[in-house]
Amino acid sequence: MFKEKYKLHPVTAIINVVKALKDLLIPIIIIVAANGFNINLDYRSETFFSEMIPLFILVIVLSVTVVSGLIKWWTFVYWFEDSELRVEYGLFIKKKRYIPFDRIQNLNYKEGIFHRLFKLVQVQVETAGSKDGKPEAELTAVTKAAADEVEIQMKKAKTKQKLPVESDLVQVAEEDEPEPASVILHKMKVPELLLLATTSSGVGVVLAGVFAVLSQFAEFIPFDLIYDELAFLVEYGYIVVMILIALALILAWGVSVGLTFLNYYNFTVSKQHDRLIITRGLIEKKRVTIPLNRVQAIKLAENPFQQLLGLASVAVESAGGGFSGENDKKIILFPLIAKKEVFAPLAELFPEYDFQVNQIVQPPKKAQPFFYRIDFVWLVPLIGAVSYFFYPYGLLSLLLIVPIILLGRWQFKTTGFTVKDQQITIVSRLVSRVTFYALKKRVQITQGSQTYFQKRRNIGSVKIIVMSGIAGASATARHVEQREVEKILTWYEH
């Protein structure tokens, strides 16, 4: 290895400043709004200090942010030495990080707006010890050739570790071998993006975001004027109001479609040797690499709309890897795909798994009340309060009992599990139907539980946990026969 030290591209300084300003955006808005959007430049005024001090503090914070971004770029260097990637930065306090190449699990890439303008790329170094979705090291902006050099040095170091030190094969391994071609397994089309935006919770997220913004700036919004205008419209009939509501929903759907296109545009899943490569994004292009041996479990989800249309989404729980800024290790493999088409690529990627689940062990009929009994704990006091304070119209809240019971029966008919050889499959439903596939060797914890009321009916629940993120990913088969719980525990012990 050589000790030549490399610096990041000067665009790094701009990216650091923009990233810091983005993190400060909400505090900036709060300070400016709390100041009443007033800028008083008359220092002789009595209110000068009271109005301008918050803005002075804001200017100081912004100045420090800009200077710190410049210093980090100016002092940041990286190099390769002793089969390690070494990083050093800091002006008064030097921070050093030495990462052995054999500990690196993934090299993930991201191309933002500034990266694309200057043909650069961001490299994120993932190790098994990376926490909270943060990479072990990050090269904010380097050329694509420099990014390739990091990967080349990593492969050379790992090859040396596998082969005998004095073998002639080491010299062969040092030579640049051609990278095996990647095979595209799935690529989302425009109609699938539209379906994803329509059947996912994106519309609800947009509406919730609008209400959250309105609540923050409620004092600046003329609600009285809006109410008068709405009352004027109501006089012309409910049809006008319904049209306005429909237009609002269409607008929310349009925003959801736009966000979906930005996040999932050109979503491509490909396989290269023993790695899974996922790329996506329109403005900000992201690429994540997942070693197949790091996948801990596979989760197939179907919300009611998707289930009606025969669609599903697939995610993998990974012990390492993920997109930047995503704290959990659940990585979307197929955001939306026809369920009848999903098993072929899954079987090619994970031949150890059996995805054809024909029969599952379901809860007994005596367990059915347990699926909606707990909901009455919060539902009964709510119905009582609404009925009392809004009598007699509040009595209509009694109708909530019907959908709660129907949802509980739906969950009862969905829940179950099956154990086959070295694999356990658990099917459950809150609202969406989730099928959780896990191999025995990937399961970290298996625990059975039984409440007092379950014990009286001789039923129980069983939960499995696999390594993923901080707390791990889990699946639970609820309210099954106690003997079935014992069977799963015995299967795991042996």
The reply to whether 96 and 55 lie within a common domain is yes
| Per-residue pLDDT at 165 | 47
Structure tokens at 147: 């990014």
The reply to whether 203 and 79 lie within a common domain is no
| Per-residue pLDDT at 46 | 60
The reply to whether 88 and 167 lie within a common domain is yes
The reply to whether 162 and 23 lie within a common domain is yes
Domain membership of residue 370 (yes or no) is yes
Question: What's the CA gap between 98 and 81, in Å, rounded?
Answer: 9
| Per-residue pLDDT at 38 | 58
Question: What's the CA gap between 220 and 239, in Å, rounded?
Answer: 30
| Per-residue pLDDT at 167 | 47
The reply to whether 43 and 161 lie within a common domain is yes
pLDDT < 50 positions in the chain? 1, 165-175, 213-214, 216-220, 324-325, 327-328
Domain membership of residue 180 (yes or no) is no
Domain span at residue 159 reads: 6-174
End-of-domain residue from the set 174, 199, 214: 174
End-of-domain residue from the set 385, 410, 435: 410
The reply to whether 325 and 405 lie within a common domain is no
Domain membership of residue 185 (yes or no) is no
Question: What's the CA gap between 173 and 413, in Å, rounded?
Answer: 56
End-of-domain residue from the set 115, 139, 174: 174
The reply to whether 197 and 247 lie within a common domain is yes
In one letter, which amino acid is 491? W
| Per-residue pLDDT at 447 | 93
Domains: count for the chain: 4
The reply to whether 44 and 135 lie within a common domain is yes
The reply to whether 107 and 121 lie within a common domain is yes
- Collect all residues with Cβ–Cβ distance below 8 Å to 76 and sequence separation of at least 6: 7, 8, 12, 87, 88, 89, 140
pTM value?
0.76
Of 401, 332, 327, the closest CA to residue 186 belongs to 332
Domain membership of residue 184 (yes or no) is no
